[in-house]
Amino acid sequence: MHESLTLALRRMPESGRASGHSRKSLIRLSCQAKPLIWVSFYPKFGYRQETMMIGELSLRLRDLRDRNRWTVADMSERTGIPKRSLDKYMLRSGASLPGFDALCALSKGLGVSLDWLVFGADIAGEIVELIADRAANDMVQLFAETLLRYNSEGRSGIIGENEILTASPEEWAADLGLRAGERARELMASGTTKADLLTWKQWRTERMSELLSDRLSAMIPRSNPVGNGN
């Protein structure tokens, strides 16, 4: 589930809309097969803000189309959404708001996150940063643990002239970059939320403080207790 999208919709008030519109509509917030989560999209958010959101979503779709030099037919083929529906989503005025199935199809077919599609770069950027941080952390830790294991096994040639395990720094950077990208996709596909990532980041901060404290304690000699006679 996309955490930022969930929180934003949960904060919408429950009272109905004043200008004759239906009391509420529903948006389902997960493109995962499970869990299937429905959250109320309350019109009182209100009508002007909803209109702004539709307009911004339409703008992002047009931007994707123009930036990638896609035709509407290209987008239809990628998403499985009829051209007529896509045209309505991208209208400059009076655009339609895609439903759940269409949002998921747009997200997957066009290669963008659901958060970015609905809310834009600010919220999506924060999640991307957290995902990248976690993925890079996992891969660098795996690399360091591998070097330590090889060293403990007494393997030779771990560090050579301009090489680590017979590969140059540039080759390792490329390899770790690819692995970090794969790890990022795994995190996103598994439904990792913003809350999960923030919890992990807090744990890492606390763990780094513990390690630093232990390192400093090992470096500073302990004085003998007073009165021990030595």
pLDDT at residue 195 in the model: 82
pLDDT at residue 10 in the model: 41
pLDDT digits (tens, 9 = 90+) for 13-71: 433 333 333 333 333 344 543 322 323 333 334 444 445 566 688 888 998 899 889 99
Q: How far apart are CA 166 and CA 58, in angstroms?
A: 51
pLDDT at residue 113 in the model: 78
- The mean-pLDDT minimum among 7-11, 124-128, 132-136, 181-185 falls in 7-11
Sign of CA dihedral 171, 174, 179, 180: positive
Residue 211 has which token pair?
């390690």
Q: What is the DSSP string of 205-230?
A: HHHHHHHHHHHHHHHSPPPPPTTS--
Residue 195, Cβ neighbours under 10 Å: how many? 13
pLDDT at residue 29 in the model: 41
pLDDT at residue 5 in the model: 43
pLDDT digits (tens, 9 = 90+) for 166-199: 889 999 999 999 999 999 888 877 777 778 889 9
pLDDT at residue 52 in the model: 53
pLDDT at residue 56 in the model: 81
pTM: 0.47
CB 65 within 8 A of CB 38: no
Sign of CA dihedral 112, 113, 115, 120: negative
Domain edges within the chain: 3-119, 122-219
Residues in the chain: 230
Q: Return the HEC string of 54-115.
A: HHHHHHHHHHHHHHCCCCHHHHHHHHCCCHHHHHHHCCCCCCCCCCHHHHHHHHHHHCCCHH
Mean pLDDT score of the chain: 75
Q: Which CATH number fits domain 3-119: 1.10.260.40, 3.90.550.10, 2.40.37.10, 3.40.190.10?
A: 1.10.260.40
